[in-house]
């Protein structure tokens, strides 16, 4: 089973061979760990293609790490005069034709799941108006707020259509709606103002028979039923610990796939490797036990020890085979 099929089966609850995983890291994490983080990612490669936002891949570690040379998958040795710049090839594996006798050409990478960009709506409105101004606009029902919303929706629809045209398997829309305890606006106001707009955007993706991903940080339990109703297939990087793993499983398990963000606030940065493994097992067994429904994910931050990064991937590998182990 290749990566693309694995992701599709997880999203559609169609019994993948194992849970898919992602590789994601803040640039600051690569600046701190360099090639050491890249080697962990290389040991546990992502099932998503390079256009998954946000995404960082092992080869990029060499551009931001401390080393000034690296060898690519073809055996070519690259040398950088300045770290962070691609550099030039200085070592050529076939400089002598006799080397052909023992040289092994690399295998073509397996086909991975391709995720396109659907843009932001709520966040873009904040960036255009300012948070306080926008809150006043929404409560007052100003006509200008509807105008701004609809123009952004038109832009995002075109963005999504272009991704679909070039073969994206899914489209990711992103808005951070949650605080630690609830939405930034009331659920009724969200349903009145934002739900129809998301419906338009998601509807175009569903017409094209592509998957809808929706990312939001924070506590969003109040609107998850609405998102499912609108056609969201994957809650992308939903903060599992903030929303409650067992509560999510009880209410929404088997109804939507979780690209589940492990706890980067407490467990990953401050817990032990065993804490991380227990947490990962809890998440994947609670949410991924429906012949799919879970994609192993977390974003590596510079305050997360590499031992815990490795522990999370080890747990995904050990416990993520179907039928998944129970916590």
Residue 79 included in any domain: no
Judge residue 280's burial from the number of C-beta atoms within 10 Å of its C-beta, 0-12 exposed, 13-18 middle, 19 or more buried: buried
The pLDDT of residue 196 is 98
Q: What is the DSSP letter of 222?
A: G
3-class state of residue 258 by DSSP: strand
Residue 74 included in any domain: no
Residue corresponding to tokens 């045209």: 165
Mean pLDDT value of segment 77-105: 79
Quick one: what percent of the chain has pLDDT higher than 70? 92
**287-310 burial code (b ≥16 CB/10 A, e <16):** bbbbbbbbbbbbbbbeebbeebbb
Please determine, for residue 71, whether its predicted confidence score (pLDDT) is greater than 50.
yes
* pTM confidence score: 0.86
Residue 233 included in any domain: yes
Alpha-carbon torsion angle 272, 278, 281, 285, nearest 10? -150
Mean pLDDT value of segment 300-321: 96
Domain that holds residue 148: 3-60+115-319
Residue corresponding to tokens 């085979």: 321
* Number of compact structural domains in the chain: 1
Mean pLDDT value of segment 294-313: 96
Quick one: what percent of the chain has pLDDT higher than 90? 73
Residue 268 included in any domain: yes
Residue 97 included in any domain: no
The pLDDT of residue 226 is 98
Which CATH number belongs to the domain containing residue 247 in this structure?
3.20.20.210
Please determine, for residue 22, whether its predicted confidence score (pLDDT) is greater than 80.
yes
Residue 222 included in any domain: yes
């Amino acid at each position: 089973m290749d990566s693309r099929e694995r992701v599709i089966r997880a999203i559609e609850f169609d019994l993948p061979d194992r849970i898919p995983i992602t590789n994601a890291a803040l640039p600051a994490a690569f600046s701190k760990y360099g090639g050491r983080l890249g080697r962990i990612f290389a040991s546990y490669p992502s099932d998503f293609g390079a256009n998954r936002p946000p995404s960082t891949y092992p080869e990029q570690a060499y551009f931001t790490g401390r080393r000034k040379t690296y060898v690519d998958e073809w055996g070519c040795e690259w040398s950088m005069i300045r770290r962070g710049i691609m550099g030039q090839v200085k070592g050529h594996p076939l400089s002598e034709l006799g080397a052909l006798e023992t040289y092994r050409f690399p295998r073509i990478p397996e086909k991975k799941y391709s995720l396109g960009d659907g843009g932001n709506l709520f966040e873009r409105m904040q960036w255009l108006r300012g948070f306080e101004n926008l809150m006043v606009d929404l409560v007052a029902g100003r006509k200008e707020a509807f105008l701004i919303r609809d123009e952004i929706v038109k832009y995002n629809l075109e963005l999504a259509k272009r991704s679909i045209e070039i073969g994206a398997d899914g489209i990711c829309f992103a808005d951070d709606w949650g605080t630690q305890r609830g939405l930034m606006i009331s659920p009724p106001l969200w349903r009145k103002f934002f739900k129809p707009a998301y419906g338009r955007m998601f509807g175009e993706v569903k017409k094209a028979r592509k998957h809808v991903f929706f990312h939001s940080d924070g506590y969003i339990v109040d609107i998850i039923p609405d998102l499912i109703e609108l056609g969201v297939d994957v809650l992308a990087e939903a903060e599992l610990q903030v929303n409650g793993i067992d509560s999510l499983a009880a209410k929404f398990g088997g109804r939507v796939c979780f690209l589940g963000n492990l706890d980067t606030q407490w467990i990953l940065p401050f817990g032990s490797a065993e804490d991380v493994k227990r947490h990962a097992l809890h998440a994947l067994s609670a949410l991924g036990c429906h012949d799919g429904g879970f994609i192993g994910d977390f974003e590596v931050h510079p305050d997360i020890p590499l031992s815990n990064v490795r522990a999370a991937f080890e747990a995904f590998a050990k416990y993520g085979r179907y039928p998944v182990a129970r916590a």
